[in-house]
Amino acid sequence: MRGSAEKMYNRVGLYGEIEQANPHKLISMLYEGALKRIVMAKKELALKNVAEKGVLLGQAMMIVANLKSSLNMEQGGDISIHLTDLYDYIETLLLKANFNNDAEMLDEVMNLLLEIKGAWDQIA
């Protein structure tokens, strides 16, 4: 019962944070969400819980796809093109890491996302 109530509380808190966030903060939250799921997937991988690892990596892939779809190709110019290529690479790494149960690939993805998120957060 406690776990269920805690999940509900966290979900309500997240919805409140999303409602109050500006577009810049929402993108930062997407990066955080992808990173959180990859960390959790690494834990599941270490525990040999392949099904849960797959679910978490699938969620991370959806977040990266949403980040990619949020790019404004007309206004973003070369930066948007390069980010699209980088997101494609990250998606490929996530797929391979999931298929091969490769924690090192997940580390590479996390490093890339942390670097992008750091640059994004500096814009604010």
Matching residue, tokens 């670097």? 115
Residue-number span of the structural domain to which 60 is assigned: 23-123
Q: What is the CATH number of the domain that holds 103?
A: 1.20.120.340
What whole-number distance in Å separates Cα of residue 49 and Cα of residue 36? 17
**Residue 8 covered by a domain:** no
- Residues 90, 58, 16, 36, CA torsion sign: negative
Kindly tell me the burial class for residue 6, based on how many C-beta atoms sit within 10 Å of its own C-beta (0-12, 13-18, 19 or more). exposed
Residue 17 structure tokens: 């944070």
**Residue 16 covered by a domain:** no
Q: Compute φ and ψ for 54, nearest 5 degrees.
A: -65, -40
87 in Cβ contact with 67 (< 8 Å): yes
pTM metric for this prediction:
0.82
Residues 49-95: tens digit of each pLDDT: 999 999 999 999 999 999 999 999 999 899 999 999 999 999 999 99
**Number of domains making up the chain:** 1
Residues 96-108: tens digit of each pLDDT: 999 999 999 999 9
